[in-house]
Structure 1
Amino acid sequence: MRRKIPSTTALICFEAAARHESFTKAAQELALTQGAVCRQIGGLEDFLNVELFRRSRRGVKLTEAGLSYSRQVATQLDAVERDTLSVMRQQGANVIELAVVPTFGTQWLLPRLKDFQHRHPEVTVNLTNRTRPFLFADTPFDAAIYYGDADWSGTQSQRLMGENPLPVCSPALLGGESTLDARRIAGLPLLQQTTRPYAWRQWFNGQGLNIAGDMTGPRYELFSMLAQAAMHEMGVALIPPFLIQRELEEGRLVVANRHALSSSRAYYLMIPDRKVESASLRAFRDWLAEQAQAYIASRKGDAPS
């Protein structure tokens, strides 16, 4: 069935005219005559059976329908342009489009990625934030790093490491103590992580405690947000140490209690079945597993990974 889509030329003329609210300026931008722009927009209005501009001797002004449509068209044209440039850049290149959970990507992966580039200069790795699983078929992604149980249909997984978060806070909240016991921590504001809603409950239960307010407190989606809130003395947060190494080394955050939250869930590299034979993805998978093992070995004295 033929799609109900107007010509690209008409949409480009309309977007430029809507942005300038001027057929003349649109024509100048597009290197067309004003008459050509007028004809394209007139044809678009006929196609839609909707008036997009009000014409007067003073010029043109978008109608309400025209304003709404112009915003949608601009967004879609921008997307088409981005996709086109992406294809042009990737021509003849090995590119991995990687979805990655944000804080893991910025705090752990990026500082190590230069080593992969050095070993495999022919491969480019692009990173995009994604916090939850998705359908690979509906996206441009070749692989994903996410935290969970590896139950992701149509993929193969490579386990990287566990989280093993510890309670951390600003040194000011310790009140001169080196550490706090679990009951003292329960009396402080508990900063919650949106995607780990039961983390504090599991941490307290691991020490044989049932705390009535273990799921109350402000919620933040990213560990980087939790870290900022904790540094500003807003409460105690459960954060994996490898995501806040600099903050711990500089003393902006301190470990309030050495009891780590243990979980069977972990960070995984997920590769869709249709991509597992990709040489560049295999190289990235092997390198990533090596980096994770090296990190785990370097932290043997800390909580288990």
Structure 2
Amino acid sequence: MIRRIPPLNPLRVFEVVARTHNLTAAAAELNVTQSAVSRQIATLETYLGMELLRRERHGVSLTRAGHSYAQQLLPAFEQIASATRALVKGSGERALRVRTYTTFAAKWLIPRLGEFRRLHPGIEVNITNAVPDVDFDRDKADVAVQFGAGRWPRTQALFLFGDEIEPVCSPAYLKQYAPNAKFPVSLLRQQLLVSHYRRSDWSVWLAATGLAHEARDALQMTFGSSVLTWQAAIDGLGMAIGQNRLLAVEFDKGLLVRPFAQFAKPVQRDQGYYLVWPLRSRESRKRALFRDWLLSACAQ
């Protein structure tokens, strides 16, 4: 059976008139003119084929049919309003849920979160880690940091920083396999450390620098994440490809060095890190503050 539902805008106008018993008050609540309210009521009456309001000298009153109709409509509209309030309130009161990769969280975001907490102590941040692209309809997240070209369906994306890569190793490993730092190419004949999700990094860097032939006989060891790959480099298991923006702490502490820095510029890939959020969603204060802080931290 096909349900017969009147046009919703006239129905909403009737609900306000029935609740306020006043065309002027209804017009003010709806932010329209009184004549617009009258036209919407007339549209609804035409659709139903009956009179709902009596226009009297000192205002309006409901007809018997209008009164009966209003008794059933008003609770329905109140239930809609209540459900909307609960949904919006729940969304606003939750902690900010940030979805990103383990490597980005461990090497860039978490070391800086203390500053965000200091600036905004009332905002709780929950971080979850995942590799697949975010789906805000499926995943419980308010924002995500993703790696790519900045184009994901049904999202807004804000560029954070680009992908700058070059080889890294421990100072001890450099001294052992390239005693003369002026000739680091010998490192390419040793063991190369590979991150599973960044398998193409070595081939991209070698092709860009014209050194692919030097690494043709190198052994490889593969790890499940860049974090593990870089830890293996710190522990002297080989040389890895580093993402320079994520290894600032390791460079500052001298845990990793860039043996080719004086001979070749880092390779800039055509992808980068982006802050992503749903295309159609209510702006929240906590998301706006986190976005502004993230941009400022990236600029630093």
Query: Per the shorter chain, which TM-score range?
Result: 0.5 to 0.7
Residue identity in the other structure for 1:187: R
Q: 1:91 to 1:273 in 2, by over 3 A?
A: closer
**CA distance in 2 between partners of 1:216 and 1:132 (Å):** 29
Matched, 1:149 2:149: yes
Fraction of identical pairs, as percent: 30
Q: 1:186 to 1:92 in 2, by over 3 A?
A: closer
Structure 2's unaligned 5+ residue stretches are: 1-86
Structure 1's unaligned 5+ residue stretches are: 1-86, 295-305
**CA distance in 2 between partners of 1:276 and 1:223 (Å):** 35
User: For residues 161-216 of structure 1, what are the alpha-carbon distances to aligned partners after superposition, in whole Å with 9 as ceiling and x for unaligned?
Assistant: 123122111223323233544x4232121111212221111111111233364996
Aligned to 1:73: none
Residue 242 (structure 2) aligned to one of 222, 239, 242 = 239
Aligned to 1:225: 228
Q: 1:240 to 1:93 in 2, by over 3 A?
A: same
Residue 257 of structure 1 deviates from its aligned partner by 1.0
Matched, 1:269 2:272: no
Provide the aligned C-alpha RMSD in A.
Answer: 2.5
**CA distance in 1 between partners of 2:240 and 2:153 (Å):** 32
Residue identity in the other structure for 1:169: C
Q: 1:164 to 1:138 in 2, by over 3 A?
A: same
Residue identity in the other structure for 1:203: W
Q: How does 1:129-208 map to 2 (within 5 A)?
A: 129-174=129-174, 175=176, 176-178=179-181, 180-181=183-184, 183-208=185-210
User: For residues 63-90 of structure 1, what are the alpha-carbon distances to aligned partners after superposition, in whole Å with 9 as ceiling and x for unaligned?
Assistant: xxxxxxxxxxxxxxxxxxxxxxxx9xx7
Aligned to 1:101: 101
Residue 263 of structure 1 deviates from its aligned partner by 0.6
Matched, 1:253 2:259: no
SS of the equivalent of 2:167 reads strand
Contact 2:95 2:126 in 1 (8 A): yes
Q: 1:224 to 1:179 in 2, by over 3 A?
A: farther
Residue 232 of structure 1 deviates from its aligned partner by 2.2
Q: 1:123 to 1:157 in 2, by over 3 A?
A: same
Aligned to 1:76: none
SS of the equivalent of 1:234 reads coil
TM-score (norm. length: structure 2): 0.62
TM-score (norm. length: structure 1): 0.61
Residue 91 of structure 1 deviates from its aligned partner by 8.8
SS of the equivalent of 1:139 reads coil
